[in-house]
Amino acid sequence: MLCDNCKKRPASVHITEINNQEKTEKHLCEQCAQSGGEISFSANPGFSVQDLLKGMFKVAVTESAVPQGEVFCPNCGMAYSDFSRNGKMGCGVCYQAFGQRLEPLLRRIHGNNMHTGKIPKRAGVQLEVEQRLKRLRKQLEQHVGREEYELAAKVRDEVKALEKEFLSRKEEG
- Mean pLDDT, rounded, of the chain: 77
Question: Which of the four pLDDT bands, split at 50, 70 and 90, describes residue 62?
Answer: very low
- Between CA 98 and CA 76 the distance in angstroms is 12
- For residues 122-138, give the mean pLDDT: 80
The pLDDT of 40-60, averaged and rounded, is: 54
What does the domain layout of the chain look like in residue ranges? Answer: 1-46, 48-114, 121-172
Judge whether residue 67 has pLDDT over 50.
Answer: no
Global confidence as pTM:
0.35
**DSSP labels, the chain:** -B-TTTSSSBP-EEEEEEETTEEEEEEE-HHHHHHTTS--SSS-SS--HHHHHHHHHHHHHHHSPPPSS--B-TTT--BHHHHHHH---SSTTHHHHTHHHHHHHHHHHHS-SS--S---HHHHHHHHHHHHHHHHHHHHHHHHHTT-HHHHHHHHHHHHHHHHHHHHHHHH-
Of the candidate ranges 19-28, 76-85, 109-118, the one whose mean pLDDT is the lowest:
109-118
